[in-house]
Amino acid sequence: MSAQTTFEKIWKRHVIAEEEGEVLLYVDRALIHEGSSHAFAALAAQGRRVVKPAQVFAFTDHYVPTTGRERGVEGIAIPEIRDMVKTLHANAAAHGITLFGIDDPRQGILHIVPPEQGITQPGLLICGADSHTSTHGAFGSIAFGIGASEMMHVMATQMIWQRKPRTLRVSVEGKLAPGVASKDVILAIIGQIGVAGGVGYVIEYAGSTFAEMTMEARMTVCNMSIEAGARAGMVAPDETTFAYMEGRPYAPKGPLWDQALALWKSLPSDEGATFDKEAALDAAEIAPMVTWGTNPEQTLPITGSIPDPNSAADAERCAEYAAALDYMGLRAGMALQEIVVDRVFIGSCTNSRIEDLRAAAEVAKLGRAKVPAWVVPGSRLVQRQGEREGLDQVFREAGFEWREPGCSLCTAINGDQLQPGERCASTSNRNFRGRQGTGGRTHLLSPAMAAAAAITGRLTDVRELLR
């Protein structure tokens, strides 16, 4: 047999049938949230039920508030959101689906909880009701988001039709400098290949830089593969993956563990496997990054300055830059470190794991927040671990607000949102117009960089504080 990529190995294991360029794939896991009510309604309209409820997992995350949770569902102030949460609870119960509900001690974001529970595993094909399902590819799985109609089909059949994407290998070699995190790596990648660079592809991240990353760091990178336009992102499983998996509630046990491990070790891309496209970066050249515009490609090292639209490569890019500067209220030539922020958000499925909060806390210790700053753990388990380690006290003493788990200001559909014109330094994944609230202005950056912005009141090179 010819050499195969990780993607090809997993894809072939899941093919059921092929027809006119489309492939019917078996789905190992389906992940849903409060916004999945349309999929259940479509099931009901057809008189169908969830065919394999043990392989469907439900989460309350997108819409739940991150304050005032003492009364559970009944304490949700916004009636529409309260009804959505109740509907999810009812649908999960009716179909026998495992629910990580608002009162569950394991509650959290659907891209945080499955890895920490061991639901996410190497070699699986995972579909989620959210585009950032690509996060789970960090374990060496094929994971992508789907819409409500596709999710209905998955729940009814445990299968999905897809066109086979092409493969793109992004290699990063070398050691990251102090103050540079995985968020900076993925922003640098998107800055290089562009927001359309991954369209039609699944990205495999390779090289010594990723081999040295923790699972939490790899999840951050795979999470934002979507911002490069890719269908999914993945890192081949290795000893770091296996060590993370072992002993988790849903991970295989006993002889099943040995069988699973044998399969997982066969998944890395073969030597000589070919990819449809390749890109490469040098880790030593990556600095702390921050976005300045209205898409993740508009990103620069924190030491940089806002580009002049007139210096753009073509008229279309010139107009794009000019429109971004107008919306963001910035001027060409302005140093990024001159930009004053109104608010800081540390959270989201990109950066709300325990390692993210530890990194932010190390910087928060160095000062006191000059602007409102929220820390929103990605799950109850992360929240409790942070509290055991005293991270909540570090943040509170520095003037940060420690909140309940959820998507919060990333999605801005839960009561947490920016006001028009407010500028936010955010660890989330999208900086589109109005993403964090109508008229809100978002700068994407790492947890440590966000904490630095909080204690200085402006975009700041965290390396200056860490020295």
Residue type, 150: E
Cβ proximity of 232 and 134 under 8 Å:
yes
| Tens digits of residue pLDDT in 183-201 | 999 999 999 999 999 999 9
> What is the bridge-based pairing of β-strands 98-100 and 56-59?
parallel
Say what percent of the chain tops pLDDT 90. Answer: 96
| Tens digits of residue pLDDT in 416-458 | 999 999 999 999 999 999 999 999 999 999 999 999 999 999 9
pLDDT score recorded for residue 216: 98
| C-alpha 342 chain-centroid distance | 24
pLDDT score recorded for residue 362: 98
- Cα angle at 168 between 162 and 174, to 5 degrees? 145
Q: Is 239 left (phi over 0), alpha (psi -120 to 50) or beta?
A: alpha
Number of other CB atoms surrounding residue 326 within 10 Å: 11
Q: How many CA within 13 A on the CB side of residue 375?
A: 31
CA dist 34 to 64, 82, 244, 352, 400, Å?
9, 10, 28, 20, 28
| Tens digits of residue pLDDT in 378-431 | 999 999 999 999 999 999 999 999 999 999 999 999 889 999 999 999 999 999
Cβ proximity of 389 and 355 under 8 Å:
no
List the alpha helices (DSSP H) in 340-399: 354-364, 380-388, 391-397
pLDDT at residue 241 is higher than 70? yes
pLDDT score recorded for residue 312: 87
Cβ proximity of 213 and 173 under 8 Å:
no
Which of these, 121, 129, 156, 164, lies nearest to 145 by C-alpha position? Answer: 129
For 414, which DSSP code? S
Read off the pLDDT band of 229 (50, 70, 90). Answer: very high
Residue type, 298: Q
Q: How far apart are CA 43 and CA 263, in angstroms?
A: 34
How does the average pLDDT of the chain come out, rounded?
97
Phi, psi of 124 (to 5 degrees): -85, 160
List the alpha helices (DSSP H) in 97-181: 113-117, 148-157
Mean pLDDT computed over 9-23 = 96
Cβ proximity of 24 and 15 under 8 Å:
yes
Which of these, 158, 157, 162, 156, lies nearest to 144 by C-alpha position? Answer: 162
Q: How far apart are CA 198 and CA 278, in angstroms?
A: 11
- Is this model's pTM higher than 0.95 or not? yes
Number of other CB atoms surrounding residue 312 within 10 Å: 15
Cβ proximity of 208 and 174 under 8 Å:
yes
Which of these, 344, 313, 336, lies nearest to 450 by C-alpha position? Answer: 344
Beta bridge partners of 281: 172
Q: How far apart are CA 458 and CA 424, in angstroms?
A: 10
| Tens digits of residue pLDDT in 128-153 | 999 999 999 999 999 999 999 999 99
| Tens digits of residue pLDDT in 267-324 | 999 999 999 999 999 999 999 999 999 999 999 999 999 999 998 889 999 999 999 9
Element holding 25 (H helix, E strand): strand 22-26
- Cα angle at 67 between 114 and 433, to 5 degrees? 75
pLDDT at residue 206 is higher than 80? yes
pLDDT at residue 1 is higher than 80? no
| Tens digits of residue pLDDT in 56-84 | 999 999 999 999 888 889 889 889 999 99
First to last CA, the chain: 53
Please identify which residue in the block is written with the tokens 């390692």: 355
CA dist 305 to 35, 330, 360, Å?
39, 11, 24
Cβ proximity of 114 and 136 under 8 Å:
yes
Cβ proximity of 144 and 136 under 8 Å:
no
Q: How far apart are CA 293 and CA 440, in angstroms?
A: 12
pLDDT score recorded for residue 467: 86
| Tens digits of residue pLDDT in 328-370 | 999 999 999 999 999 999 999 999 999 999 999 999 999 999 9
pLDDT score recorded for residue 271: 95
Ordered structural domains, the chain, with CATH: 6-162 (3.30.499.10), 166-285 (3.40.1060.10), 290-466 (3.30.499.10)
Read off the pLDDT band of 239 (50, 70, 90). Answer: very high
